[in-house]
Amino acid sequence: LRGGGDILSFSKSAGLGVHAHASEASAAPSGGCDAQEEAPARRVRWLRRRGAAGSAGSSEEAPPSCPRRVAVVTTAALPWLTGTSVNAALRAAHLCRRPECEEVQLVVPWLAPADQAIVMRQRFDTPQQQEAHIRAWLRKQVDFDESRLRVRFYAGRYVHHYHSVLGVGDVTRSVDSAAELVVLEEPEHLNWFHHGRAWLDAFPRVVGVIHTNYVEYANREPDGAAKAFGLHHYNRLMAYAYCDGVVRLSGAVQDFPRQRTCNINGVSDRYLRLGRARGAQPLPDGAYIIAKMQWGKAYTELLDLVGRDRSFNIDVYGSGDDAEAIVTRAEREGLPMRFFGARAGQGRYDHTDAAMRDYRVFVNPSLSDVVCTATAEALAMGKFVVVPEHPSNEFFSGFANCLTYRSADEFKARMSQALR
């Protein structure tokens, strides 16, 4: 699980010239990446569009093995502690550790104060203030050459209907044109309403990382089957039009053109350090969950499971658009659950917060995740995690402290095993 921001592992055979990189020895179980389709070699076409390609012989020249200037573009920014903000920032920091990389851009959305209040604990009056926070957070997570990192912003808005941040204007203009490789964290999301330059016209190589199972979210809405069908094909179109290839973090998400399936995310060293510092000392009793309070983010499954067996308590840390409805149902049914931050709007928590360090069990019954960052962090700290047997948890199932279940009865048994 170490090295959460390491560069994605596309091989030379994909035509992108991007190599896997592990900054330190990995603690992950053995396993490889599933290659489905190879990406086309678009670099020469891009050079010709830019007028930089010379003779016909240049078309045979292989792209460089490692880009010197990389841009990581994502759909969320710290201090919002969500997977696309945390993993994108760590990826940029780890790229700064590579001697070949002269410059790394981290390109994130800038939100108006009213939107900041929805997703962040802190508020910022200027992008410079938020950049200072991002850099300070990264310094606590990983050692890296900070002089190589540039933080850039594009205009964004939080849209309640999508529970997401969407870009305003042409996001490609916020990326320095010198970038040789652009990594789009959530390329489908970034381009749903894109109306600017085509990414493949603007940059020589573009790779997408698929974080979120949007089709599953759509399927849970009214008329979900029709929405999911349309979104499935629209997402494929976005990836095909704007990426040389994509990396799916797990098989839990839909298929894409020119895809690889590989978990290229991980966790910060500080979670591992806390786990090592505790050693064999057992954690006190207690189970908890950290998740944004949306029905699609594990809460439908969680309340159903807790309602079947009320022999244990679960503490909930999170906030979100569905917080009031979730708390109301739990109280109406008398479920043994306590909610922290749900009504106060301060639910952006971290496992290392003092209130959560000593819990023994992290529960995540979500069937909509791709690879859950919070689950990885809890595993790294030595906690038990109780999760469903599902493609999104396949990577985690190789760890001894990961307990999987296939039914409500097995969930009860795994909880009893972890809490005893």
For residues 53 and 59, the answer to whether their CB atoms sit within 8 Å is yes
Q: How far is CA 49 from CA 38, 46, 60, in A?
A: 22, 5, 17
Calculate what percentage of the chain has a pLDDT beyond 70.
83
pLDDT of residue 329: 96
Task: Report whether pLDDT(9) > 80.
Answer: no
pLDDT digits (tens, 9 = 90+) for 185-195: 999 999 999 98
State the Cα–Cα distance between residues 344 and 330, nearest whole angstrom.
Answer: 17
pLDDT of residue 44: 53
Calculate what percentage of the chain has a pLDDT beyond 90.
66
The long-range contacts involving 149-152, CB below 8 angstroms and separated by at least 24 positions, are: 149/92, 149/93, 149/96, 149/104, 149/105, 149/106, 150/103, 150/104, 150/105, 150/106, 150/176, 151/105, 151/106, 151/108, 152/105, 152/106, 152/107, 152/108, 152/176
Q: Assign 12 a pLDDT band (cuts: 50, 70, 90).
A: very low
Average predicted confidence (pLDDT) for the chain: 85
Task: Report whether pLDDT(3) > 70.
Answer: no
pLDDT of residue 288: 96
Q: Which two three-digit tokens encode residue 151?
A: 């933080």
Cβ contacts of residue 222 below 8 Å, gap of 6+?
A: none
Q: How far is CA 61 from CA 57, 245, 399, in A?
A: 7, 20, 43
Task: Report whether pLDDT(128) > 70.
Answer: yes
pLDDT of residue 420: 87
Task: Report whether pLDDT(161) > 60.
Answer: yes
For residues 381 and 364, the answer to whether their CB atoms sit within 8 Å is no
pLDDT of residue 315: 94
pLDDT of residue 353: 86
**Residue matched to tokens 């749903």:** 192
Task: Report whether pLDDT(45) > 90.
Answer: no
Q: What are phi and psi of 146, to 5 degrees?
A: -65, -20
pLDDT of residue 65: 59
State the Cα–Cα distance between residues 384 and 361, nearest whole angstrom.
Answer: 5
Indicate the pTM of the whole model.
0.81
pLDDT of residue 282: 74
